[in-house]
Each structure stands twice: as C-alpha cells, then as structure tokens.
Amino acid sequence: MLIHRHFVPLPAGTVNYLPVITNFIADLTSPQISGASITFTATATDVEEDPLEYQFLLDGVAQTEFTSSNSWEWITDEDDVGPHTVAVYVRDNNHSPLGDDSEAIDYTINSVYSYQAVYPQAYNETYIKTTNRWFELEGFRAVDPSLSLSGGRYLNSWLTENGNPGSQRFHVEFASAEIIKRIEYCNSHNDGYDTDAGVKDFTIQGSNSATAFANLAYADNTDWTDITANISAMVQHTTGVDGAIWHTIDLTNSVAYKYYAIKCANNHGAANNVGLRRVEFKKLV
C-alpha cells in the first residue's frame, strides 16, 4: 500500500537530519531495446528513522508523486529511443517539500529495428546521376562503399566542376522500389581540408518515374515527391579530420520508391564546388 504524507515543517530550533540516498539502481543494465520494462529502485537512510517518501523523474518530468514506494517501473516503447536521465528524490517531510536528496542514472533505449544499407546495381552513371561533376569525381564514387573515406577526394567522392557551388541534383536508382527511412553521410573533405565544399541545405525526394530520374534540371520537380527529413542542413566535415565522420538524416517515409534524389541547394561557403564524400541510403529490417 502506498502511503502519502503531508509536509510538516519542523518547529524552530528542532534538530532533524536530512535523509540520504545510499543506492539507486536499475534491474537491467543500460542500454536496453524498446519494449523493455526497467525497474529503478532507491535505498535511503534517515538518522531519526522518519518515514521516507520517493519521487521518480524521467528527463526532469515527474513520473510519480511522492509516495512510500522506493521503486518505479519504466515500460518503454519506440518513442523512448535515445538517451535519458532517470532521477529519484527522497524526503522525510521535515525539510523541503521538493525533496531532501537526489540521485540520477543515465540510461539509453535503443530501437528494436535495425537499418540496412541499400545499394544500386552497379557504381556507374547509369544508376547514379548528378547535375554536374568533375571527370573521375562522379556521383557514383560517393555511393561506392569500397572507396576510401580518408586521403584525397580524387577518385573517392563526388565533386562538381568549378562554378557549380550549388543547385545540384544527386539521383540514385535501386534495383527495386525501397522504403528508405534513413540516410547516413560523410560530407566532403580533401585530406581533412577543403570542407566548405560539403553540401549544406538539401531536400530529399522520391519517385517511381524513370523520366524524372533522367531529368537533372534542379528546379524541375515533375514526378518527384518531397520526403520529410528531421533536419534540413548537412553538417560540415570537421576541418583537419582526415577520415570518416558520419551523420544521420532520418526520413518520415512510408512509400517505396525506386529512385531517390538529394537536391543540394548550396555548400558551406566554397566559391566553386559542392560535393559529398559518402552517402548511404538505408531501410528498416
């Protein structure tokens, strides 16, 4: 039975020690997969053996009132995926009504789903098209997982010719229609430098029209459908880091498309070029 007590301040001059939390644990170690039920339990002591009450918070939001129960069960789902902080407060109702001592645990919930990369049938300009590119810096080089993510960008990435710093289409064709839910990318760099040529503002589109796939005019959106992304700008590669720095774009997409487009509006300040070091399209499995 849960017991609720009312806060009663001590009379002036009365000595009463604060309760102290001595242990706070979860019955399952972090991380856990969504759907898990995790019980958090606190142990506290009080010199006067006053009755104690506990309150549990998730990311600063109270999940319980102050009660005599020293445990709380968190039943997780996919909405809980990500890092969290679970806290507990204890009080003896003789000091602060907000709690006399507290402890916290950092806890991560992972998705029950996993992502699998989807690749074109071959790495050439039949299946990966761009509005513009340097010779031997074609778009398919940014999709080929066998190419290096460190060192020079030549032969290892997509980059436009001088005078094309934006307004570029990057098209990919898959063997069959796929529901792409995530895009992961490494933005443009050259031995860790020249990072301002990386794509900045972008739009993701899907289509099932071969005619639309072949049309690389930036402003022509015929037969393309915009796909909502959780961000609208790619992160500039960190200057001086010669290697992979992966970033994620999550898509709100429930339609299978055979063709996907990244409309690259601009870059991070370079005068002449825009490009990507690597881009991967992923589906849920």
Give pLDDT, residue 239.
Answer: 97
Q: Which of 60, 93, 110 is the last residue of a domain?
A: 110
For 233, the domain range is: 116-284
Q: What CATH number did the domain enclosing 78 receive?
A: 2.60.40.10
Q: Give CA–CA dist 233/15, Å, rounded.
A: 59
Q: What CATH number did the domain enclosing 153 receive?
A: 2.60.120.260
φ, ψ (nearest 5 deg) of residue 126: -75, -35
What would the pLDDT profile of 215-242 be if each residue is shown by its tens digit?
999 999 999 999 999 999 999 999 999 9
Statement to judge: residues 49 and 140 lie in one domain: no
Q: Which residues contact 56 (CB under 8 A, 6 or more apart)?
A: 40, 62, 63, 64, 72, 86, 87, 88
Give pLDDT, residue 10.
Answer: 53
As for how many domains the chain has, the answer is 2
Q: Give CA–CA dist 184/68, Å, rounded.
A: 47
The size of the chain, in residues, is: 285
Give pLDDT, residue 8.
Answer: 52
In a domain, 13, yes or no: no
Give pLDDT, residue 12.
Answer: 59
Statement to judge: residues 175 and 150 lie in one domain: yes
CA atoms within 13 A on the CB side of 21: 22
- For residue 90, pLDDT beyond 60: yes
What would the pLDDT profile of 44-84 be if each residue is shown by its tens digit?
999 888 999 999 999 999 999 999 999 999 999 988 988 99
Q: Which of 110, 127, 152 is the last residue of a domain?
A: 110
Statement to judge: residues 120 and 236 lie in one domain: yes
Statement to judge: residues 32 and 85 lie in one domain: yes
Indicate the average pLDDT of the chain. Answer: 94
Statement to judge: residues 249 and 129 lie in one domain: yes
What would the pLDDT profile of 3-51 be if each residue is shown by its tens digit?
444 445 555 556 788 999 999 999 999 999 999 999 999 999 998 889 9
Q: Give CA–CA dist 133/212, Å, rounded.
A: 19
What would the pLDDT profile of 195-206 be if each residue is shown by its tens digit?
999 999 999 999
Q: Which of 110, 137, 156 is the last residue of a domain?
A: 110
Closest CA to 242 of 189, 186, 192: 192
Statement to judge: residues 161 and 277 lie in one domain: yes
Question: ∠ CA 104-109-111 to the nearest 5 degrees?
Answer: 170
- For residue 136, pLDDT beyond 50: yes
User: What are the angstrom distances between the C-alpha of 255 and each of 83, 133, 157, 258?
Assistant: 29, 30, 29, 10
In a domain, 180, yes or no: yes
In a domain, 15, yes or no: no
Q: Give CA–CA dist 87/38, Å, rounded.
A: 14
Give pLDDT, residue 73.
Answer: 98
Statement to judge: residues 191 and 250 lie in one domain: yes
What would the pLDDT profile of 139-189 be if each residue is shown by its tens digit?
999 999 999 999 999 999 999 999 999 999 999 999 999 999 999 999 999
Statement to judge: residues 78 and 132 lie in one domain: no
Radius of gyration of the chain (CA): 27
